[in-house]
Each structure stands twice: as C-alpha cells, then as structure tokens.
C-alpha cells in the first residue's frame, strides 16, 4: 500500500482561550491572531517537515487548499507544491487539491497543475475537491446552488485543456472561452492521476466510479467514524460492478508513534487537544449553506436518522451536532479513533486493521497536527518511517495501483542545483 | 408573545402553470379585482391568515416562484438574473396577473419591483414588504444563509412562533420531502441573491412608475430600515413608507391583519 505524508499547515499560536473568545477558526477568524513574522517560521518549518518526510521514504507528500482558515495556511497549495517539486526527487506530490469552482477561468488550475507536473518530471497527483462550505461559499462567495455544477463543468474543461491537442472553444453553461490552449502541457499522459476528496455523498462515489478516479475520504474523525462511509463506498462500487481494488480509495488518519503507548500519550496529547479543541472550533452557521448538500444526500441523511444508522457527516443538521460533541480531550480523542497512537508495533497493528477493514490502499497520515513543533513532527515521522512503514508497505500487494503518478525516468529528469546561498555564483 | 396565527379561514383554489418545464402552484381565493402576491424568504409551504385577510376584499392570486414551495425545482434552470425575471414574468402572465395590482415580500418583493420596472404596463399598483435587492456596505442586511438553525425563527419574525408555525410539517405529516422543500426554498433565494442580496436593483428603480407602498416591520432584523428611504427616493412613481409596529422581516406573518390592511388601502 501507499503511505502518504499529509500537512494541513495549522497556525500553531492560537491562544489558550481561543475557543472561549472567538466564534470560529474559519471564515471570520480575526486578523489580530495572525503574526506574519511567526508564520514565516511556521511555513518554513512545515516545508522542512514535508521535505524531511520525502527523504524518509514516504510514497507521497500531500498538501491541500483552505481559505480564511486558522488550521490551514495554504490558500494556494500549488505554491507549496512547486517549491517541493524542486526540493524532492522521487516522491509523488499530492495536491488534494484545487477547488475547481473557485477559479475563473478554471484553466488556471489546468495551467498550474501542468506546471507542477512539468517541474517535477511527472510526479503530480491532481486532487479536485468541491471544497468545504466555509472555503467555497463563505470565504470565496460562491453560490451554493451552482457550486456542484460549476465544479463538474470546470472539471470537464480542465481535462479537455490537458488532453485536446488543438486550440478549442469551450461553450459551457458557466464558462465560455474562445481560445483554450494551455501551455505548458502535463508530462503525464493523458494527464496526471485525478483524485477526488469528498464527504459521504453517493453522487461523488458514482462519479468516481464512472470516471475511474480515486475517492478520498478526508475526515478528521479517524477510522472508527470513517468505517460507515467507506462501507457505503464499497457497497456502491459493488453495485456498479467495480472491483474491490483498494487503490480506488484514500483515507486520512492522524497518527502519533513513540517508543511506548504511554510515551505517545504524553507526547501527542497537547498537539491533538490543540487541533480538536482550537482548530475544529467552527461556527455552525457556516456549516450548511442551502444547496451545498444535494437533495439526494439530504434524503439519505433524513432517512438514515430515522433508522439511526446514518453516518453523521452526510447530513447538514447533524454536521452541526458533530461540531458540538467532538471529543476534545486526549483520552476520548484516542478512544474514538481520531488519533491512532502507540508503540511502532501497536501502530502497525492498528493501521493494518484500518487498511484492511476500510479496504484502503492510499493511507494519508497526519504526523504533524495541531501545534506540534518541528522536532516532534520529525521524531514522529522518522520513527514511523523506520519502524512502521516497512511493515505496512506489503499490505494490499496483490493489487496494482493504477492511479499513481508515472514520472519520467530518473535519468531523464533534471537534477536541481543544491541550495547553498552565496556559493552558486562563486562556482561559475 | 401572541398566539401563533395558524388557522386559516379560506381554502384556496389550487391550479398550476408551466414555465421552463416546471410547474408552479397558483392559489386563488376571494372575489373582486385581482391582487397578486409573491412570497418572501422561505416561501409559503402553507396558506396563511394574511392571505385570508387579502381575500376578504380582493381576488388574491398567489403564484409560487421557482424553487420555493409549490415551485418544484424550477430554480435549477435559472442561471442569471435575466433568466429569473423572465421566468417570474411568465408565471405572472400565465397566472392571469397581467396589469393587476402586485404585492411582494422580502425576496418576492425584489422580483415584484423588477416586474414593475422592466414591464411597467404589467403592474398597476405595487406594494413591497422589506424587499431584497440592495446592499449598502455602511448598513448591510443580515446574512440569512449564515445562521445557526435555532436562531432562524427569530431572525425572520418578531414572534418566532409565527415562522415555526409556517415551517412545521402539517400535523401527522412525516414525509421526508417536507424539510427538503424548506431547504430548497432557502437555496432558491440563494440562487438569485447570494451572497449579499444585491441584484443591482437600484439601477432599475427609476423605471418604476407604479405608485408604490413600502412596508417595513418595525422589528425587521434582516433588512435595515434605511433601505425604505433608498427605495422611496429611487422609485419614479409616487411612494410611501409604512412601518408596521411589532412585525419582523416577514411582516405578513407577524401582523397579517395590519399588513393586509395597509396593502388593501394602498390598492384602492
């Protein structure tokens, strides 16, 4: 299986009383909480951590997009990914992703992703989320009633821009462009693998199956809460006649590994409580703009509530409840499976179970979370890479991953000059 | 808190009109010259006492707007403001309201104003209850789509029970489609007014020649009162502002008799 290292880039200095004094970490979080000089160090630490993870041997490093968000400092993950393209060699670059409906024209996404793919020699995984309500409808003002259709149309435009050999006119419902002809074109043919991060909506599952894309469930609530969604996904795949190739799916999981479970509890309690206490303090008024959840999704949510069997994330009314009943203390965080902790043996055992029970071939790990500092993030990453990763990579080895980047051969690829300030000109 | 006004006197006649392949419900009740009414935010999932009060003096005709209760999913094919005004124009025409008096509330009032501006012959006299359509940075309307659900009733009505009574499923009714229809009403409003409520209606107000009554709930928590003056000043025809004490944004739900009396008085 593939083990991928994911960074959210949380702002690490939210005050202790953040929850009490602020309505939301997202959308209207106050600018006075942001210190650009501290953030300078955060960005550089985070990029060091991503590069370190690549060096440690993770299959991919992952970044994503958020707006007006105190736990996600990447309005443009593409900026980070382009830098990572220069400072890593063989690791896949997973941008998960660009919220297509936010870009006008959406060919901007086709261009930037093509740039990353070309700079990296074909290592890009192109993620296309619809985007959260907070990012898309509130921070970016997109109309929730048109968001999904705009997204789907933008997807068609981007894929055509990557693949059509000739300049074409795009006559869409929401986008009209007379001359579409992006330059550069991606290295990967016909285009970089497309992955779709989504919630639990059945329409998204069906679309992924139809398009043969990877479906990623990026929940912060861990494998126990994710089981229902992934079971729903695989049931739908079976219904549609698709095989159970685990590489059709991706799943996000927080992990903290240490020499012993007790030590892991001590080390990771603070950053986990910081994340679940402060970073997920989201005002419910931004959770459910009308039209964001399709009527079919609402219908399933309502029926599910009646039968007490629904996954909470499918339904906007329960979305709110979820925000309010989240575990925020370490015992409950671990107990509910939000964060998997333990010795390397224990983590191997739990993640094997996760990969098997959820039938997931792409496991995206958050090994830095909350206000975890670089030292601890690197410790967690190194220990995982040395003691856990080698014992998991064989899982699902009977399946082939058809959705992984196909880079240029190593020998064909450029070797970026090593970065030693002040020495390059002298060496000429 | 007064007792919620839930028990209607009249059973309206229900018919439908087709526009863009979707049907819109049209309620008709009473007798006398026709008076059209376009519902406000949330639409009309039920007949309300306010319509009874109008029907006492006039033939009240209440067409559903696309996506609002009774309007199916007609909003889903309306992508631009032009699409919306044309659809509403066609609904009114097919409902037999051409040249009639027209009243509207909230989001419906903004569209009633468009009708009077773009097709001046189509509206005789106009009554607008706290219309959407404008946005002033210095005095912005409340964002109706960024609300915690328990706070919604008190946002739209001075007495939250009036909103709750309108939106509660009829007794013994457990159809899952009911709550979906209520979300759809909010979505339809979002489709035309997201994110600020600003449709640049201000540019077209000088085209309105119909005598126009502007009604504002004295306790409107959505649309600032200052907007009444902005409307009154920009509208070309004669206009007057009437404030209904004790009413919220949807004055017709809080004070049905007073709101109906103001409208009926203006139309005579």
The ipTM (two decimal places) reads 0.94
Comparing CB atoms, the residue among A141, A143, A298 nearest residue B183 is A298
In this structure, what are the phi and psi dihedrals at residue B212, rounded to the nearest 5 degrees? -125, 125
Q: Are strands A60-63 and A2-6 parallel, antiparallel or unpaired?
A: parallel
Smallest CA–CA separation between A136 and chain B, in Å? 11
How far are the Cα atoms of A270, A283, B46, B118 from residue A294, in angstroms, in the given order? 38, 22, 24, 34
At residue A418, the pLDDT reads 79
Contacts of B184 in chain A (CB under 8 A): 290, 295
What is the distance in angstroms between the CA of the first residue and the CA of the last residue of chain A? Answer: 44
Contacts (Cβ under 8 Å, ≥6 apart) of A58: A3, A4, A5, A91, A381, A385, A389
At residue A325, the pLDDT reads 62
At residue B171, the pLDDT reads 84
Residue B163 lies in a domain: yes
* CATH, residue B158: 3.40.50.1820
The 10s digit of each residue's pLDDT in B7-50 is 566 789 999 999 999 999 999 999 999 999 999 999 999 999 99
At residue A201, the pLDDT reads 82
Residue B229 lies in a domain: yes
CB atoms within 10 A of CB A35: 12
The H or E element containing residue A85 is helix A77-87
- Taking alpha carbons only, the member of A15, A5, A17 closest to residue A371 is A15
At residue A428, the pLDDT reads 52
Smallest CA–CA separation between B37 and chain A, in Å? 24
Q: Is B188 helix (H, G, I), strand (E, B) or coil?
A: helix
Number of domains comprising chain B = 1
Q: Does A290 touch chain B (CB under 8 A)?
A: yes
Angle between helices A316-325 and A295-307 (to 10 degrees): 60
Chain-chain contact of A317 with B188 (C-beta, under 8 angstroms) = no
Q: Are strands A214-217 and A249-257 parallel, antiparallel or unpaired?
A: parallel
- Report A:144-183 residues touching B (Cβ under 8 A): 144-146, 173-174
Q: Is A23 helix (H, G, I), strand (E, B) or coil?
A: coil
Residue B4 lies in a domain: no
Q: What is the mean pLDDT of residues B146-165?
A: 97
Peptide bond into A98 cis (omega under 30): no
Largest CA distance in chain A: 73
- Taking alpha carbons only, the member of B132, B83, B81, B88 closest to residue B110 is B132
The 10s digit of each residue's pLDDT in A293-315 is 999 888 887 654 443 333 333 34
Distance of CA A268 to the CA centre of its chain: 21
CB atoms within 10 A of CB B90: 15
In this structure, what are the phi and psi dihedrals at residue A51, rounded to the nearest 5 degrees? -65, -35
Smallest CA–CA separation between B114 and chain A, in Å? 21
Domain covering A2-298+327-427: architecture:
Alpha-Beta Barrel (3.20)
Kindly tell me the sign of the dihedral angle through the C-alpha atoms of A78, A79, A83, A84: negative
The 10s digit of each residue's pLDDT in B206-262 is 999 999 999 999 999 999 999 999 999 999 999 999 999 999 999 999 999 999 999
At residue A107, the pLDDT reads 98
| Mutation site, B173, B183, B184, B198, interface A, largest A CB count within 10 A | B183
At residue B1, the pLDDT reads 40
Chain-chain contact of A295 with B184 (C-beta, under 8 angstroms) = yes
Q: Does A320 touch chain B (CB under 8 A)?
A: yes
Contacts of B187 in chain A (CB under 8 A): 144-145, 290-291
At residue A424, the pLDDT reads 62
> What is the Cα–Cα distance from A275 to A134, expressed in whole angstroms?
18
Range of the domain at B138: 13-267
Burial class (CB in 10 A: 0-12, 13-18, 19+), A15: exposed
> What is the Cα–Cα distance from B67 to B242, expressed in whole angstroms?
30
- Tell me the sheet residues that pair with B111: none
How far are the Cα atoms of A26, A108, A112, A239, A271 from residue A184, in angstroms, in the given order? 35, 12, 9, 39, 41
At residue A409, the pLDDT reads 97
Chain-chain contact of B146 with A138 (C-beta, under 8 angstroms) = yes
Largest CA distance in chain B: 49
- A402 sits in the region (left: phi over 0; alpha: psi -120 to 50; else beta) called alpha
Contacts of A320 in chain B (CB under 8 A): 148-149
Smallest CA–CA separation between A45 and chain B, in Å? 35
At residue A291, the pLDDT reads 96
Contacts of A295 in chain B (CB under 8 A): 180, 183-184
Q: Which residue of B has its CA nearest to A289?
A: B145
What residue ranges of chain A have pLDDT lower than 50?
304-321
> What is the Cα–Cα distance from B145 to B220, expressed in whole angstroms?
16
Binding-site residues on chain B for chain A (CB distance < 8 A): 75-76, 79, 145-149, 176, 179-180, 183-184, 186-191, 194-195
- A196 sits in the region (left: phi over 0; alpha: psi -120 to 50; else beta) called beta
At residue B176, the pLDDT reads 85
Q: Which two tokens stand for residue A225?
A: 């809460």
Contacts (Cβ under 8 Å, ≥6 apart) of A85: A93, A116, A119, A120, A123
Residue B185: pLDDT over 60: yes
The 10s digit of each residue's pLDDT in B76-103 is 999 999 999 999 999 999 999 999 999 9
> What is the Cα–Cα distance from A169 to A181, expressed in whole angstroms?
9
Comparing CB atoms, the residue among B146, B187, B195 nearest residue A291 is B187
Comparing CB atoms, the residue among B76, B180, B195 nearest residue A298 is B180
> What is the Cα–Cα distance from B124 to B101, expressed in whole angstroms?
5
Smallest CA–CA separation between A348 and chain B, in Å? 42
CB atoms within 10 A of CB B244: 23
In this structure, what are the phi and psi dihedrals at residue A250, rounded to the nearest 5 degrees? -130, 150
> What is the Cα–Cα distance from B62 to A331, expressed in whole angstroms?
58
């Amino acid at each position: 299986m593939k083990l991928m290292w994911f960074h959210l880039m949380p702002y690490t200095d939210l005050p202790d009383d953040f929850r009490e004094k602020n309505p939301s970490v997202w959308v209207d979080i106050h600018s006075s909480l942001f210190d650009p000089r501290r953030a300078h160090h955060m960005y550089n630490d985070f990029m060091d951590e991503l590069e370190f993870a690549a060096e440690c041997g993770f299959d991919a490093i992952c970044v994503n997009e958020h707006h007006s968000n105190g736990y996600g400092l990447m309005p443009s993950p593409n900026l980070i990914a382009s830098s990572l393209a220069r400072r890593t060699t063989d690791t896949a670059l997973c941008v998960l992703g660009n919220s297509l409906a936010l870009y006008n024209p959406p060919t901007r996404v086709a261009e930037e992703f093509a740039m990353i793919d070309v700079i990296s020699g074909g290592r890009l995984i192109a993620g296309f989320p619809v985007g959260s309500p907070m990012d898309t409808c509130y921070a970016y003002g997109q109309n929730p009633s048109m968001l999904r259709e705009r997204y789907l149309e933008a997807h068609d435009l981007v894929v055509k821009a990557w693949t059509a050999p000739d300049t074409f006119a795009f006559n869409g419902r929401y986008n009209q462009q007379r001359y579409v002809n992006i330059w550069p074109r991606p290295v990967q043919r016909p285009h970089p693998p497309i992955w779709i991060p989504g919630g639990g909506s059945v329409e998204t599952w069906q679309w992924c199956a139809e398009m043969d894309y990877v479906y990623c469930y990026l929940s912060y609530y861990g494998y126990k809460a994710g089981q229902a969604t992934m079971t729903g996904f695989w049931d739908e795949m079976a219904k549609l006649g698709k095989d159970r190739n685990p590489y059709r799916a991706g799943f996000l999981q927080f992990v903290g590994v240490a020499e012993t479970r007790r030590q892991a509890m001590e080390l990771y309690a603070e950053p986990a409580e910081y994340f679940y206490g402060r970073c997920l303090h989201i005002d419910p008024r931004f959770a459910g703009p009308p039209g964001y959840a399709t009527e079919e999704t609402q219908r399933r949510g309502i029926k599910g509530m009646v039968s007490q069997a629904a996954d909470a994330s499918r339904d906007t009314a329960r979305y709110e409840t979820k925000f309010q009943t989240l575990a925020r203390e370490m015992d409950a965080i671990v107990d509910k499976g939000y964060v998997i902790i333990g010795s390397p043996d224990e983590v191997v055992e739990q993640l094997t179970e996760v990969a098997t029970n959820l039938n997931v071939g792409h496991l995206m790990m958050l090994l830095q979370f909350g206000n975890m500092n670089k030292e601890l993030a690197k410790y967690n990453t190194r220990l995982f890479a040395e003691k856990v990763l080698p014992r998991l990579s064989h899982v699902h080895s009977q399946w082939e991953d058809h959705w992984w980047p196909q880079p240029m051969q190593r020998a064909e690829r450029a070797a970026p000059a090593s970065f030693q300030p002040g020495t390059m000109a002298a060496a000429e | 808190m007064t007792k919620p006004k839930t028990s209607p006197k009249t059973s309206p006649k229900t018919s439908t009109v087709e526009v863009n392949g979707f049907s819109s419900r049209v309620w008709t009740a009473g007798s006398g010259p026709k008076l059209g009414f376009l519902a406000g935010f949330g639409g009309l999932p039920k007949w309300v006492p306010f319509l009874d009060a109008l029907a006492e003096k006039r033939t009240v005709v209440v067409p559903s707007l696309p996506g609002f209760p009774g309007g199916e999913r007609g909003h889903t094919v309306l992508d631009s403001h032009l699409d919306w005004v044309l659809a509403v124009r066609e609904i009114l025409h097919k409902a037999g309201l051409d040249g009639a008096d027209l009243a509207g509330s909230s989001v419906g009032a903004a569209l009633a104003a468009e009708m009077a501006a773009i097709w001046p012959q189509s509206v005789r006299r106009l009554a607008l209850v706290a219309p959407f359509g404008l946005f002033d940075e210095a005095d912005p309307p409340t964002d109706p789509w960024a609300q915690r659900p328990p706070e919604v009733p008190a946002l739209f009505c001075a007495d939250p029970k009036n909103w709750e009574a309108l939106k509660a499923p009829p007794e013994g009714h457990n159809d899952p489609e009911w709550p979906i229809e209520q979300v759809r009403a909010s979505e339809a409003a979002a489709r035309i007014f997201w994110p600020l409520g600003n449709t640049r209606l201000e540019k077209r107000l000088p085209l309105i020649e119909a005598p126009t009554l502007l009604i504002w709930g004295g306790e409107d928590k959505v649309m600032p009162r200052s907007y009444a003056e902005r409307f009154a000043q920009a509208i070309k025809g004669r206009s007057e502002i009437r404030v209904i004490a004790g009413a919220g944004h949807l004055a017709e739900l809080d004070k049905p008799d007073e709101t109906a009396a103001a409208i009926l008085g203006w139309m005579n």
